[in-house]
A and B are shown apart, each in its own frame.
Chain A
Amino acid sequence: MDRRHFLKGAASLGLGASLLPYLKVLPASAATSETAVVVFGGTINSLDIHRSGTNRDSYQVAINCYDRLVTFGTKTLDDGSLSYDYDNVQPELAESWEISGDGTVMTFFLRKGATFWDGKPVTAHDVKWSFDRSVSLGGFPTVQMKAGRLESPEQFEVVDEHTFRITLPFSSKLALPDLATPIPVVINSEVARAHATEADPWATEYLHRNPAGSGAYKVARWDAGQQLVYERNEDWKGGALPGYQRVILREVPSQATRRALLERGSITAAHNIPNKDAKELASRPDIQVVSSPIENCIYCLCPNLDFEPFKDKRVRQAIAWAVPYERIFEQAAYGLGVPTWGGSKTVDDIAWPRRSPYSTNLDKARALLAETGYKDGFTVPLSFNLSHADWAEPAALLIQQSLAQIGIEVTIEKIPGANWRTIALVEKRLPLHLENFGGWLNTPDYYFYWAYIKGNLFNSSNYNNAEMAKLVDDTLDMAMDHPQYAPNVKRMIELAQEDVPRIPLWQPTLNVALTNGANGYQFWFHRQMDIRSLKPA
């Protein structure tokens, strides 16, 4: 039974009491091109991105319902698909901005006439309140703000109703892009304050359920664990009016069910479909599959340097030579993604992710291993996150089989989600594991910062190299056109390839399928569905 049919039925009912209330105001004939149904496998657990405990899937509410000061532009990739453009920062709530000569003062001029959903104009006070909130609440928003060198409320200043100023401790190339991430949203501070209490000064309880933004979509209905219904904000000033009047976001946990819905055309789009489905559905004329390589993200095999065999660089290199890259790419990634093996040993540019100098060569692997004390191999468990089983399990099995050929006996261990974060990332005590870190801000040094610096969350290999630490420290805030930038990044890449604390397997893709002629999907670094750009046939 497709939606079209159902809506016809609904129309013939004379729009009775049983229908969604907003259907009543619409001519039934326009409904299919006005309403989109998007399914995904996760769940929305909060409408407030700053709240502690808000999960990744919920970030899309911040994207679709709130505005930021700035956003990224759009670029068309080689395959014709659309992607955000990291190098092109565009206005959203801020009409324009100025950055002082030393790069430490950023002044934003707000769009006049932009209003929140309740009609209240967006002012610099709202921006200040919202930014204060994100650096004060702790947890993820505070960490992400810190990445852009935004750490305390003193840095945010209201110049006048429509002028907002940020003062940075030092110039950083990450500051402006960080304002375009989902975190620094602008909240209607009057509404929020009215619901704040002494115990809850930032109105987390209220905003958790009741978004108060100025964004392109309002939340018409939220049935936790089932669906979220977006309704277009006709007065949106942050960009071109979105294509769909209403978007129903349904949670469908079974991946087979999602595929069935897609093939039957019961929905408009399915977000984040498995590679296998993406590959097989790509040939169907009625389904458009967009597979975008995820920027700054690499699926890696990580030997942990705290464990004996892997303290020796040659053992890590031996493993890097023993990984069956081609087969993993074919059977775990179904050929979707960007290969990251078999590159040259010399680093000529700073492209990232890039091909590592390693490829499958068991003789080299054996020779390297023979130089160490592990000539006869050793036994090691290989762990992966249960939620990543779709790619990690086949990859792990293929790695297991290949390593057996150089004498390394691997046992496989699946670890459930909550456990994974603790063991792999916080305590960092998995000897050998598969990891999927990707950085939101698209510069190589940002990736190295999170994944190659001792103590940082995604350095689950416990890699510790003073030169790398110094390089990252010097480079992280450095402008990308600084003469020292490219040489520094090159050196980081050389170190990473020589020491291989993370063995790159491939750069993954984010797959989205559209049916019923829907188009305009755009890839974002945050990997959430930005429904604002979707358009009906």
Chain B
Amino acid sequence: MTSMTPGSTVASATAPTRPRSSYWSHLKYVMSENPVTGLAFGLFALIILAALFGPYLVPHDPLATGVGAALQPPSLAHWFGTDHLGRDVFSRVVVATRLDLLISVSAVAISFVVGSVIGSLAGYFGGWTDRITGRLVDTIMAFPLFVLAMGIVAAAGNTVENIVYATAIINLPFYARMARAEVSIRRNVGYVQAARLSGNSELRVLFGHIFPNIMPPMMVQISLNMGWAILNAAGLSFIGLGVQPPSPEWGIMVAEGANFIISGEWWLVIFPGLALMLAVFTFNLIGDGLRDLVDPQRRT
């Protein structure tokens, strides 16, 4: 996960003298104190494994139609049943992990990096930097986000890259606004003054001293956004602007499966829905865990 990188930088930045082993012991401490986070890290590992090795482990080709009779409920041969084209739902759910992870991680990474840099600069320097970026962010924010994503994907075409860009763009203001607000209330507090007086350049003060301290709320945002990114793709699929078939993707599977709820083919929506829920869940819990890990105040 990309957000690990800034997270660990923070740890070393705020406590440069702390030996490496202490970092791990702290991790262990956090884990033992919060079993849910431990569970989340476990699930996260599972998701990563599924993304990396899923395609080699599944019993059937996720794209092959007619590997079983159409619309069969779960059985020993097909653990999660089969869909309307006789495809194996289990294989599709597992293989979909890679694409979903790709979409959410890249989208959130882009919006986090770009958004928080813009926001920090605006919050720190104020003045014209703030005004210009503020207007930019306001302009994006002025659009209902999902509709903006729809517009972008509709205009640019529904490919995986465009879904990623659209998701990144609509999430960008969140990081920018939050970073700006958090930086602006910190830019003149004691430790920042001290850092400035001791001869650090403005950028160094901003990214070396203030930025680490705005990480905790940002972490919460990231954890939420990881899930939202997947849900966003699912919503796009529901209105027909998702990834192109036949690629297995949880959102599109839930969207298509939703039409089968009333007719009783529950397995088409429940299993991808559970996978989706589990992933969003994991991201959210991980976010909390990371927050505990990097929060300087809680480490004392």
A/B contact in complex, CB under 8 angstroms:
yes
Q: Which of A's residues lie within 8 Å of B, judged by CB?
A: 255-256, 259-260, 263, 276-277, 280, 327, 330-331, 386, 389, 393-394, 396-398, 400-401, 411-414, 416
Q: How far is the CA of A14 from the CA of B65 in the complex (A)?
A: 59
User: Which among A255, A331, A389, A413 is the interface contact of B70 at CB below 8 angstroms?
Assistant: A331
User: Which among A259, A330, A331, A414 is the interface contact of B245 at CB below 8 angstroms?
Assistant: A414
| Pair A414/B64 contact, Cβ less than 8 Å | no
B246 contact set on A, CB distance < 8 A:
397, 400, 412
Q: Which of B's residues lie within 8 Å of A, judged by CB?
A: 63-66, 70, 84-86, 154, 158, 240-241, 244-246, 258-263
| Pair B65/A397 contact, Cβ less than 8 Å | yes
| Pair A416/B240 contact, Cβ less than 8 Å | yes
| Pair B244/A413 contact, Cβ less than 8 Å | yes
| Pair A256/B245 contact, Cβ less than 8 Å | no
**Given contacts A400-B246, A401-B65, is CB(A389)–CB(B263) below 8 Å?**
no
Interface centre among A330, A398, A414 (most CB of B within 10 A): A414
Interface centre among B65, B154, B244, B261 (most CB of A within 10 A): B65
Interface centre among A327, A331, A400 (most CB of B within 10 A): A331
A411 contact set on B, CB distance < 8 A:
244
| Pair B245/A276 contact, Cβ less than 8 Å | no
| Pair B262/A389 contact, Cβ less than 8 Å | no
| Pair B245/A398 contact, Cβ less than 8 Å | no
A263 contact set on B, CB distance < 8 A:
262
Q: How far is the CA of A88 from the CA of B245 in the complex (A)?
A: 45
**Given contacts A398-B65, A412-B245, A414-B158, is CB(A256)–CB(B259) below 8 Å?**
yes
B85 contact set on A, CB distance < 8 A:
331, 394, 397-398
**Given contacts A331-B86, A394-B84, is CB(A255)–CB(B245) below 8 Å?**
no
| Pair B240/A256 contact, Cβ less than 8 Å | no
B158 contact set on A, CB distance < 8 A:
414
**Given contacts A255-B259, A331-B70, A331-B85, is CB(A396)–CB(B240) below 8 Å?**
no
User: Which among A256, A331, A386, A400 is the interface contact of B84 at CB below 8 angstroms?
Assistant: A331
Q: How far is the CA of A395 from the CA of B240 in the complex (A)?
A: 17
Q: How far is the CA of A398 from the CA of B245 in the complex (A)?
A: 12
| Pair B259/A412 contact, Cβ less than 8 Å | no
Q: How far is the CA of A396 from the CA of B262 in the complex (A)?
A: 25
Across the interface, name the chain A residue whose C-beta is closest to B154. Answer: A416
The smallest C-beta distance from A287 to any residue of chain B, in angstroms, reads 13
B86 contact set on A, CB distance < 8 A:
331
**Given contacts A331-B86, A398-B85, is CB(A412)–CB(B65) below 8 Å?**
no
Q: How far is the CA of A414 from the CA of B154 in the complex (A)?
A: 11
Q: How far is the CA of A259 from the CA of B84 in the complex (A)?
A: 18
A256 contact set on B, CB distance < 8 A:
258-262
The smallest C-beta distance from B248 to any residue of chain A, in angstroms, reads 12
User: Which among A277, A389, A412, A413 is the interface contact of B240 at CB below 8 angstroms?
Assistant: A389
